Copies of this chain bind each other. A is one copy, B any other.
Amino acid sequence: MLHSNIIGYLQTHSHRFLDELKEFIRFPSISAQPAHTADVARCAAWLAGHMRRIGMENTSLIPTKGHPVVFSEWRRASGRPTVLIYGHYDVQPPEPLDEWRTPPFEPVVRGDYLFARGATDDKGQMFAHVKALETLLAVDGRLPVNAVCLFEGEEEAGSTGILRFLAENGDKLHADLAVISDTLMPSPERPTVIYSLRGSIGLELEVTGQRHDLHSGQFGGMVRNPVQALCEIIARLHDAEGRIAVPGFYGRVKKLSDTEKRYMSETGPSDAELLENAGTEAGWGDARYTLYERTTVRPALTVTGIAGGYQGPGSKGEIPARASAKIDIRLAPRQEPLEIECLFRLFITRTTPPEVRAKVSRYSSVSPVEMNPSHPIYRAVVKACLRGFGGKPLFRRSGGSIPVVTALRENCGIPVALLGFGLADANMHGPNESLYLPNFIRGMATSIHLMRELGRFTT
């Protein structure tokens, strides 16, 4: 239980906390839209000022090529662990605007919810940690652990700045646990800890044929059509069972033990649940695995975009000179991005018809991350959730990829707890994004409990 003076502080100041969150949300810190560069900067300055006011130390704006990282720390708990709190103060574009009931950057409370862009993703979730820091510093005059905050302003636009910062300075961070609240929970009482992420490779495959577009009447039937060649290559990327047909692709993919299969089936979503989330009746893919397994411990190859030739209304009689596809490969734990990219390139070379040329370009590459849900550091997370939310957290794998997590875990060697308390219907990237206010309070309490639990460890 929390001390009564902590509860008292939370009760006395909860209205102010909400007002401050609204102030934070009113900055249209849309990182992907150049027109909002100044808003992102103002938001960063506001956040840095706020960190200073609550008593955090060495607060600074770390410049990047894009938007700054807000850095802040408190390192007076000598001999105690260090917790790194990551969050992002930038938001997704709010469009389409006409689908919002109230303007996206004018936060409004309706019932138990606060509606605004960024309410859950990620201003609301990260601010719960900020207010936890404030509460502990105000009531106890100190923190039970050392703390480092890294709040970036480019999460919705590629995280370039913070990734470079971590690559250059990660080894100096020396944290024992990174806490990130930027994910979802399946029901309001069940916070969720993600302990495994897939990696990803973003590629483009371009097929070119003759020098110019050609008249499909005059030349149709005598030249290779790059669109058709591209389709044929793509069709060969999977076998009839829905497995990726690139030789060697599954070489490093771990065979699931029975224990692991059982653990996943007990903790993970059912096929029916995932199909409902996907809004479809029919699953697809390697039938030897459940849908949860297919999307987390098995790799996937998705053509996310394809383009070639005429795409407007009606038709146009031309054989296009080129066609291209965007390919998104999701890597299962232990797969190596470079190796997979190599195997993919070899396969493309082998399957490209002789009359056309294929070119593969890479946009991005992120290693998969897998943490052990039995790691002792997670026990503190479980206890904190039990006390803050009244329920044990779910430990789940995710099929997504978070470059910052890969950087923290793989490059900087910091274990990461992805502790999400956004509701599944929070509409994080859509109109009428909301924050379930009881979870804002529970998030703060959980953060306070987590720091206290970690404070019991010595280093």
Contacts and interface: CB of A to CB of B under 8 A. Distances in A.
A307 B304 contact: no
Contacts of A319: 302, 304
Interface string A203-231: 11000011110111111111111011011
B231 A294 contact: no
Interface residues of A, number: 78
A236 B232 CA distance: 8
A49 B413 CA distance: 85
A410 interface: no
Contacts of A354: 282
Copies of this chain, whole number: 2
A11 interface: no
Contacts of A314: 202, 363-364
Interface string A304-331: 1111111100111111100101101010
A303 B225 contact: yes
A398 B221 contact: no
A359 to B, nearest CB: 15
20 contacts: A202-B315, A216-B302, A218-B277, A221-B298, A221-B299, A222-B274, A222-B295, A223-B278, A225-B303, A227-B306, A228-B238, A302-B319, A304-B309, A304-B316, A306-B306, A306-B307, A307-B311, A310-B326, A314-B363, A314-B364
B304 A310 contact: yes
A400 B218 contact: yes
A300 B234 contact: no
A221 to B, nearest CB: 3
A401 to B, nearest CB: 6
Nearest to A312: B305
Interface stretch (A74-82, A283-291, A444-452): A283-291
Nearest to A274: B222
A301 to B, nearest CB: 8
A217 B234 contact: no
A200 B354 CA distance: 28
Interface in A332-373: 354-355, 363-364
A144 interface: no
A399 interface: yes
B198 A217 contact: yes
A399 B302 contact: no
Contact of A221 (B202, B220, B230, B294): B294
Contacts of A364: 314-315
Contact of A216 (B210, B230, B308, B328): B328
A235 interface: yes
A285 B222 contact: yes
A354 B277 CA distance: 20
B295 A227 contact: no
A434 B318 CA distance: 22
A280 B218 contact: no
A294 B238 CA distance: 32
A111 interface: no
A219 B278 contact: yes
Max chain B Cβ within 10 angstroms of own Cβ: one of A221, A231, A280, A303: A221
Contacts of A219: 274, 277-278, 295, 399
- In order of increasing CB-CB distance, the 8 nearest A-B pairs are A221-B300, A217-B400, A220-B300, A305-B309, A235-B235, A202-B315, A210-B280, A305-B310
B309 A220 contact: no
Contact of A305 (B209, B211, B291, B308): B308
B308 A320 contact: no
A141 interface: no
A279 interface: yes
A291 B202 contact: no
A295 B222 CA distance: 6
Given A217-B400, A302-B319, A305-B316, 17 more contacts: A210-B280, A219-B274, A221-B295, A221-B300, A222-B278, A222-B285, A227-B304, A232-B234, A280-B355, A303-B308, A304-B310, A304-B318, A304-B319, A305-B320, A306-B306, A306-B323, A317-B328
Contacts of A215: 400
Max chain B Cβ within 10 angstroms of own Cβ: one of A210, A222, A224, A230: A222
